[in-house]
Chain A
Amino acid sequence: MPDIRLLGLTRRFGSIVAVNDVTMTFPEGTVTCLLGPSGCGKTTLMRMIAGLEAPSRGTIAFGERDVTRLPARLRDVGMVFQYPVMYRTLTVQENIELALQHDRRFAHDDRRRRVEEVLDVLHLSDQRDRRMAALDSGTRQKVAVGRAIARSCDVILFDEPTTNVEVHAKLQLLRAFKEFRTRFRQTIIYVTHDQTEAMTLADQIALMRDGRISQCSPPRELYDYPDSEFGGWFLGNPGMNFIEPSGERDGGVVFDVFPHPLAAPAGGAARLRAGIRPEYVRLCPPGSAGAVPARLLRRAITIGGQYLLTLAVGQARLKAKVAPDQGAALPTDLAVECPLEHVMLFRDNARLAEAPRALAARASVF
């Protein structure tokens, strides 16, 4: 099961460039999620890897083998689609057995053992004799996963497999996915528009936008250190706050959300924005160090009983996520702090390597 490498992969449909010069590696035995909004090119990219779509330019290699011109049936790729593809009149077990029938890498006895193993890891053993038509959508999708992982193929592609199953079945599927990963280590490429699914399942997330890979990183790294404003915005419920500077003073850049100007980064204040995630914005007693006055515009209950606050801070708008007991009763006039250790600076959509620094803090050292 070798690495999968894409080099300068491009796909045009008329004047539209669906996938634009993508170069990346899917390391052997890992799960990569292709994540992005609809129309970002993630499905086209996956279809090219499967051999269902021919690239306009670039190469696809499975290990040392160039498969760019290889037809789909010769690529040894397993697939799980949005709608499970299977034989409705056969049983769960028969469907999985059938997937193995032409896999010459398994001897007869090995095949039986493999089917048992798959049924076991997906918790399908007690449903092995049920016919597909009698199953709910979630279990059917689980069988589709079983068919894909039973074969010893190099790579399995998942195309938004949870889109058409209800919430409870979706959780079951995610659990099944996590569990089979402890025993089956095929390389997996998983297409989704759901950030939670990607954060939950992936070893690395390739975040896509307009046909390009915006960033490819492990989930927590992508969330904590987005390379671009797009990454900061796309991940999170809601995404990162971005604050425009309101002016320049004492050689520093003024943002309404900080009590002191920030030291101007190399390149000055032009097109600069400060980013902070809503969960890092802190409510504090008025007048405390680092705090600025804020006015509460809107308050809503959100995930796990937390409150999502919409605040006006000078000219800036700020979202803050606070704990249930903190947000239950709030006056309109508040004070908030945006701790600098959680702030990052962006210019032209790209994150600056330089950490933000308050001018006043530096002055106090002398």
Chain B
Amino acid sequence: MSRICIEGLAKSYGRGTVLGGIDLDVAPERLTVFCGPPGSGKSVLFRVIVGLEAPDAGRILVDGADITPLPAARRTIGYVPQSFALFPHMSVFDNVAYPLKLQGVERAEIARRVAQAAELLRISKLLRKRPSELSGGEKQRAALARGILKDARIFILDDPLVGLDFKLREGLMEDLAEMRAELGATFLYATSDPLEALMMADDLVVLDGGRVADANRVDRLYAEPRHLRAAELVGFPRCNVIPGKLEGDICTTALLRFRVVAERAPAPDVVVVIRPEQVVFADGAAHPPGAPGGVGTVQLLEDLGAECVVHLAAAGETLVTTAPSRAVAHLDVGAPYPFVLRPRGISVFDRASGARIGSGDA
């Protein structure tokens, strides 16, 4: 099964708190992405789970068994550090076999198990090659093979695609999703790229300053983030954060007024989070009378091919939105950009604490 429970995990270096008491349930046989800015604690959390660092407090349970006292070698967790970390001077076989050699496993047994892992990951033909002769996807498979050798049911990948070419990453993400489906194991995956996080995740954990800002199934977290930081750190392009006032159940901002369905005690000073897709291009007749919105001025148009990211100035705010390139690619900087706002799904947060208050009514 491989369910991981993390209880009260804390870690400091000198005065700096890196993990500030983390409680988390990681579901088995799913891919959980840990995202957050550099320094949010992802790597340290992973190193503690793998056993490369000891926590100051707290424990880690795998299927109910406390693994915190176990040394790294005795934890059946496959670990893929950044950029795969293969030894360049060794063959793929020696790279994959390395942890077993360290454990003093017999040569014949090593050969048998490497062959088995290589077959599962379809790298049997590559075992004699050097890492420099492999493609990105093959390197990834070789790095995962090491984990499989340990009979791991849990794989931990620490930002494995960081620094790689965009197109290479696209292919590797796909490869990894397929591989995971074949292996059926529990995957923990760290990235600071908000789009990669969304694309890879079944479940998402947002870390910020060594604490969990939110943890949920990916589409729930995207639609209803429970903390402002989770809203800001998940999604591409980045969401719009706009100050507002909440009086009764009516929220007023420079851009729109709308009714809020509160889930907890409201506060008068709030911020609202408007996802780029909630700002809808309303060229010509498409603008329904009375709908909230306005006319912005194009500041920059980034063409992604299928869609454009449009940066607007509107009512003293900067707004980021997306639109199909076919509809907007002809617009120049300075062009007027009529838009409608959809209050449904706009999240409202307490400005002071960042806690979620509720969201816009339909």
Chain A residues within 8 Å of B, Cβ to Cβ: 37-38, 167, 171, 174-175, 178-179, 182, 193-196, 199-200, 219-220, 223, 233-239, 277-279, 298, 300-306, 308, 310, 321, 324, 328
Contact = CB atoms under 8 A, between A and B. Distances in A.
Contact of A303 (B167, B200, B304): B304
A237 B169 CA distance: 11
B302 A298 contact: no
B199 A302 contact: yes
A223 B329 CA distance: 12
- 7 nearest CB pairs, A to B: A304-B322, A199-B303, A305-B277, A279-B306, A236-B305, A301-B198, A300-B199
A303 B322 CA distance: 8
A235 B307 CA distance: 12
B98 interface: no
A4 to B, nearest CB: 25
B183 to A, nearest CB: 15
Contacts of A278: 306
Nearest to B318: A171
Given A175-B311, A301-B222, 5 more contacts: A37-B165, A199-B303, A304-B275, A304-B321, A308-B199
B306 A175 contact: no
A237 B300 contact: no
A150 B299 CA distance: 23
24 contacts: A37-B165, A175-B311, A199-B303, A199-B305, A200-B300, A200-B302, A220-B303, A223-B305, A223-B325, A234-B167, A236-B304, A237-B170, A239-B167, A278-B306, A279-B307, A279-B324, A300-B201, A301-B218, A301-B222, A303-B237, A304-B276, A304-B321, A305-B276, A305-B277
A233 B305 CA distance: 12
B303 A304 contact: no
A193 B166 contact: yes
Contacts of A239: 167, 170
B219 A301 contact: yes
B301 interface: yes
Contact of B166 (A194, A305, A328): A194
Given A171-B300, A195-B166, A304 B307 contact: yes
B170 A219 contact: no
B162 to A, nearest CB: 14
B274 to A, nearest CB: 11
A236 B305 CA distance: 5
Nearest to A179: B333
B23 to A, nearest CB: 26
Contacts of B168: 37
Contacts of A233: 167
A303 B300 CA distance: 17
Given A37-B165, A277-B306, A279-B306, A305 B301 contact: no
Given A174-B302, A304-B307, A324 B167 contact: no
B303 A219 contact: yes
A242 B307 CA distance: 20
A324 B277 contact: yes
Interface residues of B, number: 39
B137 interface: no
Nearest to B197: A301
Contact of A196 (B218, B275, B276, B302): B302
Nearest to B333: A178
A302 B303 contact: no
B170 A238 contact: yes
Interface string B319-339: 001101100010001000000
Given A37-B167, A193-B166, A305 B302 contact: no
Contacts of A238: 170
Contacts of B324: 279
B1 interface: no
Contact of A305 (B170, B222, B303): B222
Nearest to B322: A304
A116 to B, nearest CB: 22
B303 A38 contact: no
Nearest to A297: B181
Contacts of A235: 305
Contacts of A310: 174
B277 A178 contact: no
Given A178-B333, A305-B276, A237 B177 contact: no
Contact of A175 (B167, B201, B236, B299): B299
B195 interface: yes
Nearest to B300: A175
B243 interface: no
Contacts of B236: 302-304
Contacts of A38: 165
A307 B22 CA distance: 31
Given A178-B300, A194-B166, A195-B166, A302 B329 contact: no
Contacts of A298: 177
Contacts of B301: 200
Interface string B220-259: 0010000000000001111000000000000000000000
Residue of B201, B300, B306 with most partner-chain A CB within 10 A: B306
Nearest to B329: A220
Contacts of B304: 195-196, 199, 236-237, 303
A305 B306 contact: no
Contacts of B195: 302-303
Contacts of B321: 304
Contact of B311 (A171, A234, A279): A171
Contacts of A220: 303, 325, 329
A33 to B, nearest CB: 12
Contacts of A196: 302-305
A237 B198 CA distance: 14
Interface string B178-219: 000000000000000001001111000000000000000011
Nearest to A321: B306
Nearest to A233: B167
Nearest to A327: B219
Interface in B85-116: none
Contacts of A321: 306
Contacts of A301: 198-199, 218-219, 222
B39 to A, nearest CB: 13
A195 B222 contact: no
Contacts of B305: 195-196, 199, 223, 235-237, 277
